[in-house]
Amino acid sequence: MTEIIKGNVIHTTRLGELTCFEGGWLVSVDGVIAYVGQTLPEEYVGLPVTDYGDMLVLQSFADMHLHGAQYPMLATGLDLPLMDWLTAYAFPTESRMADNDYARMVYRKLVRELLDNGTTRVAMFASLHDEATLILMEEMEAAGLTGYVGKVNMDRNNHVLLQETTEESKASTLRWLEGCRKFKNVKPILTPRFTPSCTDELMAWLGETARERDLYVHSHLSENDKEMELVAQLHPDCSQYWETYDKFGLWKDHTIMAHCVHSDARERKAMRDHNVLAVHCPDSNNNICSGVAPVRILLEEGNWVALGSDISGGAHLPMLEVMAIAVSTSKTRCMMTGDRPLNAAEAYYLATTAGHCYFGDQPGFAPGNPLHAVVVDDSSIGVPGDHLPLAERLERLFYRAKSEHIKAVYSAGRKVKGE
């Protein structure tokens, strides 16, 4: 089936560069992009067109780090540093996912809210419960949200309400992986919670499982001072945090590491050397007083960086809002260190292309990519007749657009919002 979309198309193929087609075209065939540009190619002329008029047609958003099981506490309890916050809020909230009915209710709402806000690809932590993790993946598959989900592994230093033994963690992981076979657009990823939560035995087993089953890995890195001290105590043989993953085979191509707030030059180089994705979670980092990540430095050194909402350390689920916060905290960083702030085009790249590439896409709306797009009607925002350039209309969305302005969302070629 050929889908021909007309509108003001904005995509980004390089960091900081926007390509805009005012009254442009985006064509997909069987859910795969076939053309993007200013003029409709001859071969499609005369076919039915979905004309979005003066609306903006954007790449959809990829949220590359979030905790689905923390959705019930979103935007509450934002008054503690990381380690205390985990004990007081995050762990008890996640423990409720032992109840499958509760999990389904929560995850169904989360998936709907993600899609309504234009997020179509995710790299998400669930909880340690394998059944609830499969329920999340079922809800994603049914609604059309795509990406990677992990059953969390955590067999030490945990909460009375949220524990698994090493053996339970392994068995639960195997049950979960078995259950994942039925999914088409949702895939498993191994998610050791973070080094302090996993014994060496479990880490080694996960590394081996990743290798045997060709699975990617997703965890946390150098988020917070206290956490880093704890990691150093637990692994006196490792001079840096990343080595605690590396020594168990978890530091490898496409490993996702959230935060990297305090990663120094050596750790950043280790990321580049292994094609590790650093996920910048600016809202969460500020909320739990972890720091302001060196995004400009990571980018200038050539690291691969994408954005994450990191709910519910982050209090904002819509990636448009996360982009605003990324720009904003980059200005804070500028005031602290002089690092050049992110501009709107750069934030858009981090929330779209940088994340979509994780899934094998070429940059921007490249032919061959599955269609992931968002259509935004900004006609009610701002002052009538103001005729802003498309780049400024895009910037304005970060601060002003709500889900009600998002009129259509396409995920892997499927229309998941809109008529």
392 binds a second copy (CB under 8 A): yes
Which residue number, 26 or 350, has a Cβ lying nearer to a second copy?
350
Eight-state DSSP code of residue 375 = E
Task: Tell me which residues in 170-209 interact with a second copy (CB under 8 A).
Answer: none
Which residue number, 79 or 167, has a Cβ lying nearer to a second copy?
79
Please report the sign of the dihedral spanned by the C-alpha atoms of residue 204, residue 227, residue 340, residue 280: positive
Please report the sign of the dihedral spanned by the C-alpha atoms of residue 45, residue 48, residue 51, residue 57: negative
Which residue number, 331 or 407, has a Cβ lying nearer to a second copy?
331
Q: In the structure encoding, which two tokens stand for residue 181, read together?
A: 């076979």
Q: Please select the residue that binds a second copy; options are 327, 354, 408, 412, rule is CB under 8 A.
A: 327
Q: Give Cβ neighbours of residue 67 (< 8 Å, ≥ 6 apart).
A: 90, 94, 124, 125, 310, 311, 312, 313
> Smallest gap, in angstroms, from Cβ of residue 271 to a second copy?
24
Amino acid at 92: P
Site string for a second copy, 269-308 (x = CB under 8 A): --------------x--xx-x-xx----------------
> Smallest gap, in angstroms, from Cβ of residue 133 to a second copy?
18
Site string for a second copy, 339-368 (x = CB under 8 A): --x-xx------------------------
Per CB under 8 A, which region of 48-56, 130-138, 299-307, 326-334 contacts a second copy? 326-334
- Spatial CA neighbour of 278 closest among 309, 299, 300, 248: 299
> Smallest gap, in angstroms, from Cβ of residue 396 to a second copy?
4
> Smallest gap, in angstroms, from Cβ of residue 15 to a second copy?
16
- Spatial CA neighbour of 264 closest among 235, 234, 221: 221
Neighbours of 260 (CB within 10 A): 29
Eight-state DSSP code of residue 405 = G
C-beta of residue 102 within 8 angstroms of C-beta of residue 161: no
- Spatial CA neighbour of 37 closest among 15, 11, 1, 3: 11
CA distance 284 to 296: 18
337 binds a second copy (CB under 8 A): no
Q: Please select the residue that binds a second copy; options are 328, 352, 369, 411, rule is CB under 8 A.
A: 328
- Beta strands 406-411 and 373-376, pairing class: antiparallel
76 binds a second copy (CB under 8 A): yes
Per CB under 8 A, which region of 5-13, 28-36, 181-189, 392-400 contacts a second copy? 392-400
Using CB atoms within 10 A of its CB, is residue 101 exposed (0-12), middle (13-18) or buried (19+)? exposed
> Smallest gap, in angstroms, from Cβ of residue 340 to a second copy?
10
Which residue number, 36 or 317, has a Cβ lying nearer to a second copy?
317
Task: Tell me which residues in 96-125 interact with a second copy (CB under 8 A).
Answer: 105-106, 109
Q: Please select the residue that binds a second copy; options are 156, 159, 254, 331, rule is CB under 8 A.
A: 331
> Smallest gap, in angstroms, from Cβ of residue 307 to a second copy?
17
CA distance 350 to 327: 11
45 binds a second copy (CB under 8 A): no
CA distances from 129 to 105, 134, 139, 153 (A): 15, 9, 16, 9
CA distance 369 to 36: 11
324 binds a second copy (CB under 8 A): yes
Q: How many residues bind a second copy (CB under 8 A)?
A: 44
Note the residues at the interface with a second copy (CB under 8 A).
71-72, 74-79, 105-106, 109, 283, 286-287, 289, 291-292, 315-316, 324, 327-329, 331-332, 334-336, 341, 343-344, 382-384, 386, 388, 392, 395-396, 398-400, 402, 404
